[in-house]
Structure 1
Amino acid sequence: MPKVDAVSTSSVPRPEPTAPSGPLGRLRPPRPAGPGRPQGVLPALALFAAVRLAGILAVILTNALRGHPLVRNLAHSWDSRWYLHIATHGYGRLVWISPEGAVQTDWAFFPLYPALIRALTAVLPLTPGRSALLIAWTAAVVAAYGVYLVGHHLYGRGVATTLVALWAALPHAVELTIAYTESLFAALAAWALYCVLRGRWLWAGALAALAGLARPSGFAVAVAVVLAAGHQVLRQRGRAPVRLWAGALLAPVGWTAFVLWVGNRTGDLLGGYFTVQRAWDSRFDFGADSVRFLKALFLHGGGVVYPAALLIVASGVLLFVLLCLDRPPPALVAFSGVLVLLAVGGSGSFSSKPRFLLPAFPLLVPVARALARTWWLRPPAAMVVYGALTLVSLLFGAYVTVVAHSPL
């Protein structure tokens, strides 16, 4: 493992307030443990796995009630079919003409996930769909571990466990356990951010480069690593170690390489990738499409999925403000800020925007800190709140996966 550099004081753990005197006065929230060996990760991962397994079972039960194949939509919904086709046949083999006449190609989908599916099917007797689910489920647990490490490093065991629990119970967390790239991207992002906090710049840069090969929004990790590295350079007045510079230079390599590869395939090196994405109605339009969506939603309504998506995105913006007020390390602010900006300012189906925010787990830090304090002071109230969140997550996840016809 690379040698640990000095850690910025912005990432030094801050203790949670102790409980007041009285019957519960002897109960104190766990103190941040800093860079030492994390404790309590297994219970947190067990809780995460239990909630997400319940989410899978809710999808299976809903499929059974509606007479659908029990697990097919876990691996073959919407974008999943494109990833499976790329894994099986490679790029440049699938073209779709949208109802508006746009020519949509598989070059819009980043290569890391289908490459892993292809590799797994080559060594194990699994179908591409089962391989895709195995990768997604494994990555989700690895991501939860990374989320725990970030929370534990900054705030201690109690907040870290609560952070993982909240992330598992998000309304749209079902997308961590279907054949999509969110769990893989979240795993790479969480561990890259943890490496930044620990000063492991080469690891952070390498993980950011891989994240850039996982999703179009993967450059958010590179932005976080580069800005955190720049912040550290300023603090050290330019006397930064070589591995910091190397990590910062490595971070954007994955995303940039794929964008240039697509540009080369289309004959337009710098603009070809963005032309491909525009055919999918995926572009940054500074929120113009979001404004049109709001107008249509208020004039004509939108069932369940679209108002819920609006509520989730609006909550994401509010949580980002709270996160900034909490003054976390710059890497967490940069990563979350880029994802929020893309969700608000990008075009495309609004029903997919909650999924774009799913990897932005730092947005949950202010809520996790508040809920952790509630747990120590009033455990029954915290259990009721978390139970309600989990129930909403299970029901909404089953609805959007099985019942609704909106893009995931």
Structure 2
Amino acid sequence: MTDLETRVVPSGSVTLRRAAPALLGYAAVRALGLLALALWSAARDKNAYTLLTARWDALWYTRVAELGYGYEVRLPNGDVHSNLAFFPLLPWLERFLHAATPLSYGDAGFVVSLLASLAAAWGIYAVADHVYGRRAGVCAVLVWAVLPVGIVQSMAYSESLFTALAAWSLYAVVTGRWVTAGALASLSGLTRPVGLAVVAAVWTAGVASLLRDGEARPAVPFARNRSTAPGPGARTPERASKATRVLGMLLAPLGAAGYVLWAGHRTGRGPLGYLDVQAGWRNGFDGGYAFARFVAAKFTSFPSALAGLGLIVGVALLLWLYVVCVRQRQPLPLLVYAGVVLALALCASSYFGSKPRLLLPAFPLLLPPALALTRLRTSRSALVVGCLAVASAVYGAWWLNGSGPP
């Protein structure tokens, strides 16, 4: 299904200069989204910056940064919302910036998200450029930027930070930098529970690489294109030693495992205590049963039936995109990562309104539409992206001033 061939990597392929068009385009889309949010919020007599930094999960992260763990809210129905549900890397960074600068915890969260979103865009570019070329890299970043819920990338949430760590970990995997991949996977596991997807990608790639050690072809970086000819200044990455690959694999799960075990100890319920914390938030993995019931309930009346139909179409589109990714023979680590993110988002019993933002890190699913854009003339692809950017900006402003991401 996936070729384990050496992809000749141009020297400096992820330099800032090479990625500059993608990053500038990304910054322009995000600036448009923030402008639309500011105008919409002003018209509704709301503060756009407050919507970005001091609502929903952003408040939980700043509380952890300021007061540490141990805070919980008991709801009338008996549910217990504990801040142990929130992984620590973002609060740690907020606390560091607050201590090192005059920024408040909320301001620090916004700065971290801003910088992390650029790092995520750069990482997405690096992966797409490595697999499909520079033009595909630029288009992949722009498609990620114009997602309907792209405004979350500018919020003091952990999605941008996680996507940055995941993208660069996957880039390290497909280019054979195993220790870097493992270290970044470990950090992603300190950011969100879905860090499991990055760990799975590193482990699957590592096992596949080790299994091929005895074959004629060396186990070297993953790539789709067998026939890329060396360009000026091109180099072939050296084969990583078995010890290096094993070390990267061992590093990958340390962050998530360490926090989950610590949280379980903190609850006094042992290794599985973190699952109890998630249960207090009504979060769990039920194979999609709760989500299916939620969708089915939409068909009890005509207006909501349209929303139910839209949800079915949306899920079908996501599954179709994943099938296309497989048919296009994306590198194995990308397929594993995207598959796990997709499964955790769709099959979790968490609040259903949060599912769109939970899918934000699944950027490999965006490579097929990015490739489709590369086949258009530059003027046409720019027009398509421009229209989508306007629609995304308007939707994000409306959404954040309404129900928004819980």
Asked if 1:59 is matched to 2:37, the reply is yes
Which range moved further: 234-243 or 169-178? 234-243
Matches of 2:246 and 2:373 in 1, distance apart?
38
Q: Cα–Cα, structure 1 residues 302 and 95, in superposed 2: closer, same or farther, change >3 Å?
A: farther
CA RMSD of aligned residues (A): 2.0
SS at match of 1:37: coil
SS at match of 2:270: coil
SS at match of 2:157: coil
- 2:84/2:263 contact within 8 Å kept: yes
Residue in structure 1 matched with residue 383 of structure 2 by the alignment: 384
Asked if 1:89 is matched to 2:89, the reply is no
Instruction: Report 1:259-270 matches (<5 A).
Output: 259-270=260-271
User: Aligned to 2:4, which of 7, 10, 22?
Assistant: 10
Displacement after TM superposition at 1:307 (Å): 7.0
Residue in structure 2 matched with residue 359 of structure 1 by the alignment: 361
Residue in structure 2 matched with residue 250 of structure 1 by the alignment: 251
Which digits, 9 at most, give the CA deviation of each residue in 1:251-288, with x for residues without a partner?
A: 01100111101110111222110011011111000111
Which digits, 9 at most, give the CA deviation of each residue in 1:19-70, with x for residues without a partner?
A: xxxxxxxxxxxxxx73532263111100001101111111111110000123
Matches of 1:100 and 1:11 in 2, distance apart?
56
- 2:299/2:308 contact within 8 Å kept: no
Which digits, 9 at most, give the CA deviation of each residue in 1:325-349, with x for residues without a partner?
A: 1111110001100000011111122
Which range moved further: 138-147 or 301-310? 301-310
Aligned residues: 377
TM-score, normalised via structure 2 length: 0.88
What amino acid sits opposite 1:149 in the alignment? Answer: A
Residue in structure 2 matched with residue 272 of structure 1 by the alignment: 273
Matches of 2:149 and 2:308 in 1, distance apart?
12
What amino acid sits opposite 1:10 in the alignment? Answer: L
Instruction: Report 1:133-148 matches (<5 A).
Output: 133-148=110-125
Instruction: Report 1:65-84 matches (<5 A).
Output: 65-84=43-62
What amino acid sits opposite 1:246 in the alignment? Answer: L
SS at match of 1:85: helix
Matches of 1:308 and 1:83 in 2, distance apart?
32
Displacement after TM superposition at 1:99 (Å): 4.8
Q: Percent identity?
A: 40
Residue in structure 2 matched with residue 346 of structure 1 by the alignment: 348
Residue in structure 2 matched with residue 400 of structure 1 by the alignment: 399
Which digits, 9 at most, give the CA deviation of each residue in 1:210-244, with x for residues without a partner?
A: 00000011111111001011111111139952010
Instruction: Report 1:271-290 matches (<5 A).
Output: 271-290=272-291
Displacement after TM superposition at 1:305 (Å): 8.4
What amino acid sits opposite 2:399 in the alignment? Answer: V
Displacement after TM superposition at 1:405 (Å): 2.1
Asked if 1:34 is matched to 2:9, the reply is yes
SS at match of 2:20: helix
Asked if 1:323 is matched to 2:331, the reply is no
Matches of 1:265 and 1:307 in 2, distance apart?
43
- 1:84/1:128 contact within 8 Å kept: yes
Which digits, 9 at most, give the CA deviation of each residue in 1:172-221, with x for residues without a partner?
A: 11101001000000000000000001100000000000000000111111
Displacement after TM superposition at 1:306 (Å): 7.8
Q: Cα–Cα, structure 1 residues 192 and 237, in superposed 2: closer, same or farther, change >3 Å?
A: same
Which range moved further: 298-307 or 150-159? 298-307
Matches of 2:41 and 2:314 in 1, distance apart?
25
Residue in structure 2 matched with residue 50 of structure 1 by the alignment: 28
- 1:313/1:354 contact within 8 Å kept: no
Displacement after TM superposition at 1:308 (Å): 6.3
Residue in structure 2 matched with residue 107 of structure 1 by the alignment: 84
TM-score, normalised via structure 1 length: 0.88
Which range moved further: 103-112 or 315-324? 315-324
Residue in structure 2 matched with residue 226 of structure 1 by the alignment: 203
Q: Cα–Cα, structure 1 residues 178 and 307, in superposed 2: closer, same or farther, change >3 Å?
A: farther
SS at match of 1:259: helix
Which range moved further: 176-185 or 313-322? 313-322
What amino acid sits opposite 1:405 in the alignment? Answer: S
Which range moved further: 193-202 or 99-108? 99-108
Structure 1 unaligned residues grouped into runs of 5+:
1-7, 14-32
Matches of 1:308 and 1:214 in 2, distance apart?
31
Residue in structure 2 matched with residue 192 of structure 1 by the alignment: 169
Which range moved further: 75-84 or 311-320? 311-320
SS at match of 2:81: strand
- 2:261/2:271 contact within 8 Å kept: yes
